[in-house]
Structure 1
Amino acid sequence: MKKLTVTYKISIVMAIVFVIWGTFFPKHLGVVMESAQTFFLTSFGWFYQLSATFFLLFALFLVFSKYGKIKLGKDQDKPEFNRLTWFAMLFSAGMGIGLLFYGVSEPISHYAAPPYGGPGMERTRESALIALRFTYLHWGFHAWAIYATVALSLAYYKFRKEAPGLMSATLYPLFGDKVRGPLGYTIDIVAVFATLFGVCASLGLGAQQINAGLNYLVGLPINFTVQVIIIGIITVLFIISATTGIKKGIKYLSNTNMILATLLLLMMVIVGPTLFLLNLFTHTLGQYIQNLPQMGLRISPFNEESAAWTQAWTIFYWAWWISWSPFVGMFIARVSKGRTVREFVVAVLVVPTLVCTFWFAIFGGTGIYFDLIEGVDVAGQSLETGLFYVYRYLPLGGVLSVITLLLISTFFITSADSATFVLGMQTTEGNLNPSVMIKISWGLILSTSAVVLMASGGLDALQTAIIVSAFPLTFILLAMSYSMLKVFKVEMKATKK
């Protein structure tokens, strides 16, 4: 193995210290996490809202600006992957497990406890429309704009300027050679820990839902021990996948994910209340686009209950996507060589948003249909069991459950596999092929960190780690945006000359 970098050494030591803290003092870690969550949500909710909105406006500006012609690579470079495989990789790395975990549970949660309206609004037709509208907000344009901003900057510097694939390298126009010293190490370490905690949350969600699915199919009890065993088994599988490289393991698993996800979605459309779902999607998509600015900046300063809802859902999601952005951004950048800025931003912003909104309309709409129209208590189920509860009332529910478990597992493996690759890149000076040992070490840290966070506070602890790690990273992303504009401006002047 090549000489270990400063970033790797510091990051791995800090990660090990965190794991030891959570292993021997889980209650203390839980208390600290809870205090940190309260502080950041109440004090900086406005900051996350404004930042997420900025990234969306920035992405739209790039689409329609003169910079859209700039290529992510040399002028003669061609895309490495065809569009279908490229889209599959976007979804596998971007939001895979979350779509399954929250597909039914989030719209149903908002339907039963809407963000506004007061008593009497719960479980009504109006709250159903509001529920899907806000679910689209959380998984739509804002999220993918954050990813697009980071991925675009990384891809441009890596393939056009031949710079290291590091977050710090994208800030060279602002800080010059300082990014190769302590400042650069700090930037990259912040990105490492945001990635670590962001992916930990997905691993925790995946383990909980696999456990719920096995409980539905074979009666396996839902508890922490079973979830730890699941994480252990999946860890072995994704480490095996990680050792095969991006063109084999991740590529094949990504294509498998796309096939299974498409099959599951089509089956849900067919066996569910089809006409109701298609009408619901069309109507709520229009509402989402119409109300996008207002929802994206909603804080509710005069209503504590509504403000708490926004903090628990919207603000958390912005933090989650920001914390995931180095991971997803680096991975998207790695597979996007040869695209133009305009093609890249449109694809990353629009296509996944449409698919995500349709996904939630079908899965969430089916849950709402059974609860509101058929009188089935879907809203009374837990987050991880809601999807499998809905399957009980659908034809071929057992088949749907098996496909879902397979898909969760492959998404689980692909997300963790991609994360070990990206963490390896971040801690080896942007090496596009980090060593197997580096990837294995990060794979083990990912899994143990997820277990530690689940033991110290479950889903709340996972959310807190995301919110805290995303705060400093947000400033880095804002600086990246400004840096990108500076270098694009210089490039356009050089092109004219």
Structure 2
Amino acid sequence: MANGLSKKVTIVFWITMAIAVLSVLWGVIAPNHLQEVTGAIRDFITVNFGWYYLIIVTLFVLFCIFVILSPFGAIKLGNPDDEPDYSMPTWFAMLFSAGMGIGLVFWGVAEPASHFATNPPTAEPGSTLALRESIKYSYFHWGIHAWAIYALVALTLAYFKYRHGAPGLISATLYPLLGDRVYGPLGKFIDVIAVFATVIGVATTLGFGAAQINGGLTYLFNIPNEFWVQFIIIAIVTVLFMLSASTGLSKGIKYLSNANMYLALALFAFMLVVGPTLQILNVFTDTIGAYLNDVLEMSFRLEPTSDHDRVWIQDWTIFYWAWWIAWSPFVGIFIARVSRGRTIREFLMGVLLVPTLIGFLWFATFGMSAINLEMNGIAAISELPMEQALFGTLAEYPLGVITSFIGLCLIGTFFITSADSATFVLGMQSTNGSLNPSNPVKFSWGLAQSGMAAILLFTGGLTGLQNALIIAALPFSIIMLMMMFSLYKSLSEELAKLRKQKKYSNDDIS
């Protein structure tokens, strides 16, 4: 296998794989030391760079809005006569499955329940204000800001790939800033950072998925909630997603993405009907207004004079921003891969708005269904382990066993889809942008990310996953800033050239 790999992969593969293997070995040999070191680095970053994360993520949102409203928005990602490879519904399904799947199922109940009953951002636990904040901050963490991070990476990659014929590499998007240096050691260093951030981001999400599947099995069948069970879950799902990866992008991921959407839609519709429907709709409407009214304040809220409130922001907002940044190389590359033929404006509006609205509906429905149980003294969902919160909520409504089983299937298919997509993306990034990385390359990355997920769970559980994310996100956030400036520079030059040629108007550029 090594001989076959050596003919196909670049040095980025070997360097990043070596780092991943050494990290896993570190966790096996000295798990306590790994946990202590990553915890210390995470504390340093969240304390000293919280302001930085808040500013840059807001900057990404503003940049996306600027591009939508500017003449750049009419430029097509491809040739003027290129048509999209996927229908709009399939495209949205693939965006949603790759971007948020497991995380949304994991946190859809756990986050609002925690914000309401045990740890609100500012309000008294269990109060009316805490109810509003619980949903509002869930919108904030999973809404426009998250998708702007994905959109920036995806748009930059798609633009340079389909407009300028560049290889689908993170380093290639920086050519307007770095010139030929992107082909040398500096470019390889940038790609190593991107690939390793992807491995950590995917491994973290897989860890959350394994923990929640274990939580569901514990809640339903009293199976122990222990690492060895989670390890078996990771091993089984690894085999399944590697089988899916071997079928190719258009078959495996497309079918699984559509299956995810049908399962998620069925579970959502059922909960909306059997849950407190009127309360869900009222709270959804009310908190949309609260979110729009307070989004600017939330974007810059750091609470420098309150240790308690600042820790909350570090544990929630900063953690999420780091998660999305670490996850963005994978999601961005995958979205770029399936978005050829769309205009920049269509692309950005689709990526920013549609998954955001779906997420809002999800949090309002499942969050309020859980909070309703808390408010009426039926069940203390917030006191359950986070990985069991969804199942604890479903159990209190009709057909709880059936819906819990559907929930487990949904987590499993999202697990497979995310890992499947990630093996393709990692293979692409380590084979000089190949759109069809070989199965040995994809299988190698599948084993690496599963091994990383297992070792992070073994050394620190969910806290270990969070530590790794925040550490991996910091260096890639700097690359994202460079990508934003590179994209703006290239778009400005292209628009000026098109205007000079007088072949296109501002409203008809493709």
TM over 0.5: yes
- CA displacement at 1:200 relative to structure 2: 0.9
1:55 matched to 2:71? The reply is: no
- CA displacement at 1:75 relative to structure 2: 1.1
1:72 matched to 2:77? The reply is: yes
Alpha-carbon distance in 2 for matches of 1:396, 1:50: 45
Q: How does 1:408-419 map to 2 (within 5 A)?
A: 408-419=411-422
Percent of aligned positions that are identical: 52
**What is the DSSP-based 3-state SS (H/G/I as helix, E as strand, rest coil) of the residue aligned with 2:387?**
coil
1:186 matched to 2:189? The reply is: yes
1:166 matched to 2:169? The reply is: yes
Alpha-carbon distance in 1 for matches of 2:122, 2:216: 34
Aligned position for 1:198: 201
- Residue 446 of structure 2, aligned match among 419, 443, 446: 443
Alpha-carbon distance in 2 for matches of 1:385, 1:171: 43
Q: How does 1:467-486 map to 2 (within 5 A)?
A: 467-486=470-489
In structure 2, what residue type is equivalent to 1:362? T
- Residue 350 of structure 1, aligned match among 348, 353, 356: 353
1:229 matched to 2:229? The reply is: no
**Residue by residue, what CA displacement relative to the aligned partner does 1:434-458 show, whole Å, maximum 9, x if unpaired?**
0100000000000111111111111
- CA displacement at 1:114 relative to structure 2: 4.1
- CA displacement at 1:19 relative to structure 2: 1.1
**Structure 1 contact 115–310 (Cα < 8 Å) conserved:** no
Aligned position for 2:262: 259
Alpha-carbon distance in 2 for matches of 1:373, 1:277: 15
- Residue 274 of structure 1, aligned match among 263, 273, 277: 277
Comparing 364-373 and 41-50, the one that deviates more: 364-373
- Residue 46 of structure 2, aligned match among 41, 63, 85: 41
Alpha-carbon distance in 2 for matches of 1:33, 1:115: 27
Alpha-carbon distance in 2 for matches of 1:317, 1:279: 27
TM-score when scaled to structure 1? 0.98
Aligned position for 1:94: 99
Aligned position for 2:134: 131
Alpha-carbon distance in 2 for matches of 1:357, 1:117: 21
1:108 matched to 2:78? The reply is: no
Alpha-carbon distance in 1 for matches of 2:255, 2:9: 30
Aligned position for 1:84: 89
- CA displacement at 1:392 relative to structure 2: 1.8
- Residue 151 of structure 1, aligned match among 154, 163, 168: 154
- Residue 321 of structure 1, aligned match among 321, 324, 330: 324
**Structure 1 contact 124–372 (Cα < 8 Å) conserved:** no
Alpha-carbon distance in 2 for matches of 1:16, 1:34: 20
In structure 2, what residue type is equivalent to 1:24? I
Comparing 215-224 and 338-347, the one that deviates more: 215-224
Aligned position for 2:462: 459
**Residue by residue, what CA displacement relative to the aligned partner does 1:236-257 show, whole Å, maximum 9, x if unpaired?**
0000001111010001000100
1:210 matched to 2:213? The reply is: yes
1:434 matched to 2:449? The reply is: no
Equivalenced residues, count: 495
In structure 1, what residue type is equivalent to 2:315? A
Alpha-carbon distance in 2 for matches of 1:296, 1:467: 18
In structure 2, what residue type is equivalent to 1:43? N
TM-score when scaled to structure 2? 0.96
Alpha-carbon distance in 1 for matches of 2:8, 2:494: 35
**Structure 2 contact 210–234 (Cα < 8 Å) conserved:** yes
CA RMSD of aligned residues (A): 1.0
- Structure 2: gaps (5+ residues): 502-510
Aligned position for 1:29: 34
**Structure 1 contact 115–306 (Cα < 8 Å) conserved:** no
Alpha-carbon distance in 1 for matches of 2:339, 2:19: 32
**Structure 1 contact 165–426 (Cα < 8 Å) conserved:** yes
**Structure 2 contact 9–432 (Cα < 8 Å) conserved:** no
Q: How does 1:385-424 map to 2 (within 5 A)?
A: 385-424=388-427
- Residue 10 of structure 1, aligned match among 15, 24, 32: 15
**What is the DSSP-based 3-state SS (H/G/I as helix, E as strand, rest coil) of the residue aligned with 2:81?**
coil
**Structure 2 contact 319–466 (Cα < 8 Å) conserved:** yes
**Structure 1 contact 114–130 (Cα < 8 Å) conserved:** no
Alpha-carbon distance in 1 for matches of 2:96, 2:121: 31
Cα 1:372/1:488, change in 2 over 3 Å: same
**What is the DSSP-based 3-state SS (H/G/I as helix, E as strand, rest coil) of the residue aligned with 1:68?**
helix
**Structure 2 contact 39–467 (Cα < 8 Å) conserved:** yes
**What is the DSSP-based 3-state SS (H/G/I as helix, E as strand, rest coil) of the residue aligned with 2:383?**
coil
**Residue by residue, what CA displacement relative to the aligned partner does 1:383-440 show, whole Å, maximum 9, x if unpaired?**
0111111112101111110110110000000000001110001111111110100000
In structure 2, what residue type is equivalent to 1:159? Y
**What is the DSSP-based 3-state SS (H/G/I as helix, E as strand, rest coil) of the residue aligned with 1:429?**
coil
